[in-house]
């Protein structure tokens, strides 16, 4: 086999190789294949690093999204709990649904679900228990 055919044969084996071990064996006998292996390894490592960076960025975006959702939900619950607290104070004073809505400058339809839950807890009006019950009713 002449030199050109031998080199072509080695390159053909290189392109046909399916494992790094096969490629390393070919690289030991051919400096050009060895250089190509080094470049391939570097590109492969760079691809892994790029994929790791992308995965990390995706993870950070997901965490930021969850955090923002948590803050939003927390604020909404805080507002609802404060409104419920005010409704309970008005109930203790014996006010009707319409009077409470007027005092709080809210629509009757807005406060009615909270009002309906709160009146079940008369006369104690434990806001924490009422709020838990309200959340359960809203989620069912």
Q: pLDDT by residue (tens digit) across 9-27?
A: 888 888 898 888 888 888 8
Higher pLDDT, 15 or 116: 116
The CA distance from 113 to 131, in Å, is: 11
* DSSP conformation class of 126: -
Averaged pLDDT, 34-61? 86
What are the tokens at 13? 């084996």
Q: What angle, 0 to 180 degrees and rounded to 10, lies between the N-to-C axes of helices 20-29 and 31-92?
A: 150
Of the pLDDT bands very low, low, confident and very high (cuts 50, 70, 90), residue 140 is confident
Q: Is the confidence at residue 3, as pLDDT, over 70?
A: no
Is 80 exceeded by the pLDDT of residue 134? yes
């Amino acid at each position: 086999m002449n030199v050109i055919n031998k080199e072509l044969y080695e390159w053909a084996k290189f392109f046909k190789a399916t494992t790094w071990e096969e490629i390393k064996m070919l690289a030991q006998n051919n400096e050009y294949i060895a250089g190509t292996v080094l470049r391939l390894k570097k590109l492969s490592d760079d691809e892994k690093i790029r994929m790791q960076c992308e995965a990390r960025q995706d993870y950070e975006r997901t965490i930021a999204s969850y955090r923002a959702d948590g803050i939003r939900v927390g604020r909404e619950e805080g507002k609802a709990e404060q409104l419920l607290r005010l409704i309970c104070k008005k109930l203790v004073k014996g006010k009707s649904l319409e009077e409470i809505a007027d005092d709080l400058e809210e629509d009757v339809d807005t406060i009615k679900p909270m009002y309906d839950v709160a009146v079940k807890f008369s006369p104690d009006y434990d806001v924490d228990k009422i709020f838990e019950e309200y959340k359960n009713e809203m989620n069912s």
